[in-house]
Amino acid sequence: MGRTLVFGTSGQVGSALLELLGDQGIGIDEKTGDFLNPTSLLAALETHRPAQVINAAAYTAVDLAEKEEDKAHLINAVAPGVIAQWCAGHGVPFVHYSTDYVFEGSGVSARVESDPTGPLSAYGRTKLQGEKAVSEAQGKYGSKFLIFRTSWVYDAVGKNFFRTMLRLAKEKSELRIVSDQWGAPTYAPHLAAATLAALSSACAKPEFPSGVYHLCNQGVTNWFDFAQAIFAAARKRGESLQLEKAIPITTADYPTPAKRPLNSRLDLSKARTWLGVELPSWQAGLEQCCETFWRTHP
């Protein structure tokens, strides 16, 4: 199989993909691709003529997107559509990432792929528009695409909840953390490995199983309990934390410019059944993240 072109390799998932792909990966980040000028990305596709394409680039500043929806739309919706059209026209399998934010997040049941969407934020709207752009572009040619909705992505590097909680626990004696938003923290390297396994599985089938799939670490928790698990892991490894008290609060107690879904539970059975992929538990993801973090930040 030929090389895989990955867009967004400065991000958590994109960098993990590139590391796993090794010599078979080609990375495009914001320094080598202008995601605010989506048609310019065609130059990379024409130059490298990849056998597979994965788009991990996204505008993920959820609150800032309320003011910069036009910018978010270019990166999250227009760019994926442009890439998808090129892939469709050249018969190249294409993977794109979406998010739990496409749902309005009511109730307590896990969402399946066919459930009605209803994003609450500009970020969610632009990501849903990206899903539609990819589906429409690929549908015209009846070709090969996988859209993976995931949730709460983090890693041992970069700007994310894991790193933020560790920093704040060293700086503050008291933290107030939202406890009524439920979902699955997803470790970026686990998501990257599952993506490549799913793509390989899809390509090996007599008919490529194009469509939307939910893909994240297994299990469910809330931000407060996830933070508590992070603090416990840090103390277990001998970290000196200033934190004396963590207080669970509601979403209403912590207003933000963008509204968050309370229920981000995703049903993972479709990916398991059709693609044969399943990520480990979110606890296993956190444990591996901790091992990597403290190995590289002694």
Instruction: Report the distance separating Cα 130 and Cα 14, nearest Å.
Output: 17
CA distance 153 to 66: 20
Catalytic (active site) residue 123: yes
DSSP H helices in the chain: 12-21, 42-48, 69-73, 79-90, 122-139, 161-171, 188-204, 223-236, 269-275, 282-296
59, 97, 101, 123: the catalytic one is 123
Here the tokens at position 222 are 């809330």
* Amino acid of residue 283: Q
User: How far is residue 147's CA from residue 94's CA, in Å, rounded to a whole number?
Assistant: 8
**How far is the C-alpha of 86 from the C-alpha of 285, rounded, in Å?**
34
Select from 213, 296, 251 the least CA-distant residue to 120. Answer: 251
Q: Phi then psi for 116, rounded to 5 degrees?
A: -60, 140
- Which are the catalytic amino acids? 123
